[in-house]
Chains A and B, each alone.
Chain A
Amino acid sequence: DAGVIQSPRHEVTEMGQEVTLRCKPISGHNSLFWYRQTMMRGLELLIYFNNNVPIDDSGMPEDRFSAKMPNASFSTLKIQPSEPRDSAVYFCASSLAFYEQFFGPGTRLTVL
């Protein structure tokens, strides 16, 4: 298996633009997690899905952030409009039965 796949790996955009991050979880995994990592705040859980259904989005910073999982093999995290303080590395992880999580390589987002 190729592991969790994230795209793009790097994104540089200007403030106010829409950003869409993509994730393909490991086949057969039923849980998917979106994290944000910064020097200031460490690793933060934004939202997680179980069987494609959002279970807990309490970590989503504000309404500018939204996430979808239309099927078991694809999820998106969208930021609209983006702001400089959204600059971070965004990780997607998947797991089977909530235990060990397999992380993707991350997307490094820079908002100018």
Chain B
Amino acid sequence: GESVGLHLPTLSVQEGDNSIINCAYSNSASDYFIWYKQESGKGPQFIIDIRSNMDKRQGQRVTVLLNKTVKHLSLQIAATQPGDSAVYFCAEGLTNAGKSTFGDGTTLTVKP
């Protein structure tokens, strides 16, 4: 049938629970990966990045895991809060290419 738009994956969690958002990337040569958060009516905002020579990186309440074997990236948010409700994008890039490629995004909804 005719496409009516992107069907973004959605994740609904209870406030205080941990969230895990997944992303499959396409280019095995990508050497950096970034997670962005986009709140309604705003532009995407940087959360955390990871280089391809790492498999884990932690920030404040967030952890990114990289599995290069299966080209998979995940973002873990601890103690999810209502303010975490947003669309989350992963982006992959190759330093010499000069640009990042964004995934379709995942919508996170936090229930109070």
Show the binding face of A for B, using Cβ within 8 Å.
Answer: 4, 31, 33, 39-43, 45, 48, 50, 55-56, 91, 93, 98-106
Contact = CB atoms under 8 A, between A and B. Distances in A.
A58 to B, nearest CB: 10
A-B complex: 3 closest residue pairs judged by Cβ atoms: A103-B43, A39-B5, A100-B46
27 contacts: A33-B99, A40-B4, A40-B5, A41-B6, A42-B6, A42-B105, A43-B44, A43-B89, A48-B98, A50-B98, A55-B98, A93-B44, A98-B93, A98-B98, A98-B99, A99-B32, A99-B34, A100-B49, A101-B34, A101-B100, A102-B46, A103-B43, A103-B45, A105-B42, A105-B43, A106-B42, A106-B43
The prevalent SS among residues of A at the interface is strand
B104 interface: yes
A56 B104 contact: no
Interface residues of B, number: 22
B3 interface: yes
Given A43-B105, A105-B43, A106-B43, A99 B98 contact: no
Interface string B78-102: 0000000000010001010011111
A21 B93 CA distance: 26
A98 B98 CA distance: 5
